[in-house]
Amino acid sequence: MEEIKTPKRPIIYYMLIVVVAMLILNLFVMPRLMNRQFEETSYSEFLDMLENGKIKEVEIQEKQILFMDKSDPARYYVTGIMDDPDLINRLDAAGVTFTATIEQEASPWMTLLLGYVVPLLIFMVVGRLLMNSLMKRMGGEGLGGNMLTFGKSNAKIYVQSTDGIRFSDVAGEDEAKELLSEIVDYLHNPGRYAEIGANIPKGALLVGPPGTGKTLLAKAVAGEANVPFFSISGSDFVEMFVGMGAAKVRDLFKQANEKAPCIIFIDEIDTIGKKRDGLSGIGGNDEREQTLNQLLSEMDGFNASKGVIILGATNRPDSLDPALLRPGRFDRRIPVELPDLQGRVDILKVHAKKVKMGDNVDFDAIARMAVGASGAELANMINEAALRAVRAGRRFVTQADLEESVEVVIAGYQKKNAILSDKEKRIVAYHEIGHALVAALQSHSAPVTKITIIPRTSGALGYTMQVDEDEHNLMSKEEIENKIATLTGGRIAEDLIFHSITTGASNDIEQATKLARAMVTRFGMTEEFGMVALETVSNQYLGGDASLACSPDTSTAIDKKVIEVVRTQYEKAENLLKTHMKELNGLANYLYDHETITGDEFMGLLEQMKVPAEPAAAAEPTSAAAETTAPAEQTESKTE
Ligand code: ADP
Ligand code: MG
Ligand code: ZN
């Protein structure tokens, strides 16, 4: 292999440099350093010093006199010799010692040490460091095991709970915890499983959207299991040079085998486990494929009875190579889904333990508001609330802090000094009341809980929040249709009142289109297409990219149908609003004045204003039944 040879040449260069440097050092630098430096003085100066008794030792040579200062023995002087017959007497009189030689050179041992040994040691240390970094970049194997740390997996080893995270720190996710505790249990007493002859899975894959606690769960497993825990991220395997990632995988499993029973955790495994696409050779796929192949063969190569269990985590399970998912490898799939209502309450409570909470806090209400929030977002909400309490100079967190923090996480911070012109503010008020009114006038719509026209940093100029009373996992056709109608309400209100339309509805349009499209292509809710999947969704945990799976003709028909679905709902909503213009005006003015109103205020005002004899007011009482799955609040992003 080419890349194995390359590092040898730098070694030769380095050695050459060392030899040259040593030569220079010993031929030129050392003699100067080692020889004492003699200051040149005049003969008269010498005599002066001699008379004043400042000289300690003297050496008379053929052409010069070397002498040593008495007060400062490190100072040497040299002076030319003069024809001075009295010299000996003078020296005698001054009581100066004669020596044959004032040592000019340090001892030979010293020379050897300073000239060769020390520099050589320095060069060796520097060389080692250089080689180290070189190896890291070069990659490849075969330079011999003692070749420094190259190819090491860099896996962090947690032995027991280093950061003290236990299963109790992970709220909700009971199924995942149950499956994982089985693994922990196996590692604690493998004998019980062996007795029956049960095989413990070799690998388990934690799958779910970002921020749902996959990494957290793995850490909790490390905390619960009394075994070494190797943790490494998939991206750590991605290297510039072919073969390097594979070497790391090999090393990781070697280490793990030595430490068995143990757990290997590979986070973000999709970085190395992506489907092999047969396009190798083009670009950098070679490296990734080699790494994956190595991982596959290592997973096959060891015997689970030894007690090495592999955990993986990913939010892109559909992009994983099928070979990775077959039985005997990651044969257990542990879904880590977004928390349900109870899960959200529990997660809020877990994180609330770390901050001081007021007595009035109702976690249930907060959890209801935070539909669709992940564990990470909920943790963030608690923290935002704590920050808000500090800013307000309070010593504990109140319900209002939490409510505001939910909105911060959903819609961004309030833009206190954003300047809306009076006209714009009025338009936004009508827009939001348009949404709220359509929602309130339909059955199967989540009740409105808050309407606000205070701009947020996310770009929303206002929003209407709807919160369900119960958790629902299914959404009926009527609910989706009503939701689309509600989404169109904002634009309709603008149009009805101001006879002009704005960019403010762009986000509504996007959401409505998505829903209508899904009705047609994925939910089988139209007569024309029936129960046919016309789109496939990939990346379901990361927003979901839908790709069409039908002929171009069908695709055109789908587009037509989508437009029709939205238009029908638009007309329905328009009729509702047209027959409730009085309410629309009254409520919008009220919102304009108050900027934020609660759902109760809204419903109260609506009841007061309702014209009893309106025949077209097809408003059944707002029922408790309502939608979910999709986030129940709408945010208006306004392009600016
Ligand atoms: P991911 O699934 O993307 O790996 P993490 O495990 O990194 O998510 O979660 C990020 C943070 O969110 C955690 O550190 C924790 O504070 C919080 N969190 C997420 N899920 C939960 C949960 N079920 N219980 C408690 N906290 C959670
Ligand atoms: Mg993670
Ligand atoms: Zn809107």
pLDDT digits (tens, 9 = 90+) for 102-145: 555 556 777 777 777 887 888 888 877 777 666 555 443 333 33
- Span of 21-30, 307-316, 388-397 with lowest mean pLDDT: 21-30
Query: Is the peptide bond between 261 and the residue preceding it cis, with omega within 30 degrees of 0?
Result: yes
In a domain, 121, yes or no: yes
Say if residue 125 is in the same domain as residue 212. no
Say if residue 18 is in the same domain as residue 113. yes
| Residues 6+ away with beta carbon under 8 Å from 176 | 206, 217, 334, 335, 336
pLDDT in tens, 19-43: 888 888 777 776 666 666 677 788 8
In a domain, 146, yes or no: no
In a domain, 144, yes or no: no
How far apart are the CA of 341 and the centre of ligand 3, in A? 26
**Domain of residue 505, CATH code:** 1.20.58.760
In a domain, 92, yes or no: yes
Which of 600 and 13 is assigned the larger pLDDT? 600
Angstrom CA distances, 297 to 199, 284, 287, 318, 333, stand at: 19, 21, 15, 21, 20
In a domain, 590, yes or no: yes
Q: Provide the number of structural domains found in the chain.
A: 5
In a domain, 147, yes or no: no
Residue 65's pLDDT band (cuts 50, 70, 90): confident
Point out the ligand 1 atom lying closest to the alpha carbon of residue 213.
6
In percent, the amount of the chain with pLDDT more than 90 equals 28
| DSSP line for 168-200 | GGS-S-HHHHHHHHHHHHHHH-HHHHHHHTPPP
Q: Which ligand is nearest to the CA of 433?
A: 3
SS3 letters across 523-584? CCCCCCCCCCCCEEEECHHHCCEEEECCCHHHHHHHHHHHHHHHHHHHHHHHHHHHCCHHHH
pLDDT in tens, 164-201: 788 888 998 888 898 888 888 888 877 888 788 877 77
Placement of tokens 């009341």 in the chain: 433
- Span of 126-140, 455-469, 488-502 with lowest mean pLDDT: 126-140
Ligand 1: which residue has its CA nearest to atom 17?
A: 376
Among 302, 335, 368, give the residue marking a domain's end: 335
Angstrom CA distances, 61 to 97, 98, 100, stand at: 15, 11, 9
Residue 271 domain boundaries: 156-335
Q: CB of 571 within 8 A of CB of 488?
A: no
**Cα–Cα distance between 430 and 414 in angstroms, integer?**
20
In this predicted structure, the answer to whether residue 305 has a pLDDT above a threshold of 80 is no
How far apart are the CA of 462 and the centre of ligand 3, in A? 8
Q: Which of 635, 496, 516 is nearest to 568 (CA)?
A: 516
Say if residue 175 is in the same domain as residue 304. yes
CA angle 554, 559, 563 (to 5 degrees): 145
Say if residue 438 is in the same domain as residue 548. yes
Angstrom CA distances, 504 to 239, 425, 453, stand at: 46, 12, 12
In a domain, 471, yes or no: yes
Q: CB of 449 within 8 A of CB of 465?
A: yes
Pocket-forming residues, ligand 1, beta carbon under 6 Å: 170-173, 210-216, 313, 347, 350, 375-376, 379
| Residues 6+ away with beta carbon under 8 Å from 464 | 432, 435, 436, 439, 448, 450, 451, 633, 634
pLDDT in tens, 578-634: 999 999 999 999 999 999 999 899 999 998 887 554 444 343 333 333 333 333 344
**Cα–Cα distance between 516 and 198 in angstroms, integer?**
49
Determine the pLDDT at residue 291: 83
Q: Which ligand is nearest to the CA of 221?
A: 1
Determine the pLDDT at residue 415: 74
In this predicted structure, the answer to whether residue 477 has a pLDDT above a threshold of 70 is yes
Say if residue 77 is in the same domain as residue 199. no
Ligand 1: which residue has its CA nearest to atom 11?
A: 376
Ligand 1: which residue has its CA nearest to atom 7?
A: 215
Of all helices (H) and strands (E), which one includes residue 40?
strand 38-40
In this predicted structure, the answer to whether residue 635 has a pLDDT above a threshold of 60 is no
Determine the pLDDT at residue 224: 83
How far apart are the CA of 213 and the centre of ligand 1, in A? 3
How far apart are the CA of 213 and the centre of ligand 2, in A? 7
Say if residue 284 is in the same domain as residue 217. yes
In this predicted structure, the answer to whether residue 472 has a pLDDT above a threshold of 80 is no
Determine the pLDDT at residue 227: 78
Say if residue 457 is in the same domain as residue 368. no
| Residues 6+ away with beta carbon under 8 Å from 215 | 267, 313
Say if residue 304 is in the same domain as residue 356. no
Beta bridge partners of 312: 205, 266
Average pLDDT for 149-162: 53
Query: What is the DSSP pairing of strand 448-452 with strand 460-466?
Result: antiparallel
Q: Which residues surround ligand 3, an ion (CB under 5 A)?
A: 490, 508, 636
Say if residue 114 is in the same domain as residue 248. no
Determine the pLDDT at residue 621: 38
Q: Which residues of 515-537 are buried (b: 16+ CB within 10 A; e: fewer)?
A: bbbbbbbbeebbeebeeeebbee
**Structure token pair of residue 82:** 């003069």
Among 310, 335, 360, give the residue marking a domain's end: 335
Q: Which ligand is nearest to the CA of 460?
A: 3
**Cα–Cα distance between 435 and 508 in angstroms, integer?**
10
For the question of residue 289 being annotated catalytic, the response is no
In a domain, 550, yes or no: yes
- Span of 90-99, 101-110, 547-556, 566-575 with lowest mean pLDDT: 101-110
Choose the residue to mutate in 175, 212, 265 for probing ligand 1, maximizing ligand atoms within 8 Å of C-beta: 212
Point out the ligand 1 atom lying closest to the alpha carbon of residue 336.
2
Determine the pLDDT at residue 271: 84
Average pLDDT for 540-551: 80
Angstrom CA distances, 196 to 181, 192, 308, stand at: 19, 7, 19
Say if residue 472 is in the same domain as residue 574. yes
Q: Which ligand is nearest to the CA of 376?
A: 1
pLDDT in tens, 234-290: 887 776 666 778 888 888 888 888 887 888 888 888 888 777 765 544 555 677 788
Point out the ligand 1 atom lying closest to the alpha carbon of residue 350.
25
Among 411, 431, 448, give the residue marking a domain's end: 411
- DSSP letter at 52 equals T
**Domain of residue 369, CATH code:** 1.10.8.60
Determine the pLDDT at residue 33: 63
Average pLDDT of every residue of the chain = 80
How far apart are the CA of 464 and the centre of ligand 3, in A? 8
Q: Which of 60-64, 118-122, 409-413, 569-573 has the highest mean pLDDT?
A: 569-573
**Domain of residue 162, CATH code:** 3.40.50.300
Q: Which residue type, as a one-letter code, is found at position 135?
A: M
In this predicted structure, the answer to whether residue 453 has a pLDDT above a threshold of 70 is yes
- Span of 68-77, 136-145, 382-391 with lowest mean pLDDT: 136-145
How far apart are the CA of 163 and the centre of ligand 3, in A? 45
Say if residue 212 is in the same domain as residue 270. yes
Q: Which residues surround ligand 2, an ion (CB under 5 A)?
A: 215
Say if residue 611 is in the same domain as residue 501. yes
Point out the ligand 1 atom lying closest to the alpha carbon of residue 172.
23
User: Which one from 384, 432, 479, 481 is the annotated catalytic residue?
Assistant: 432
Point out the ligand 1 atom lying closest to the alpha carbon of residue 346.
24
Determine the pLDDT at residue 101: 60
Q: Which residues of 601-632 are buried (b: 16+ CB within 10 A; e: fewer)?
A: bbbebbeeeeeeeeeeeebeebeebbbbebbb
Would you tell me how many other CB atoms lie within 10 Å of the CB of residue 150?
A: 21
Ligand 1: which residue has its CA nearest to atom 18?
A: 375
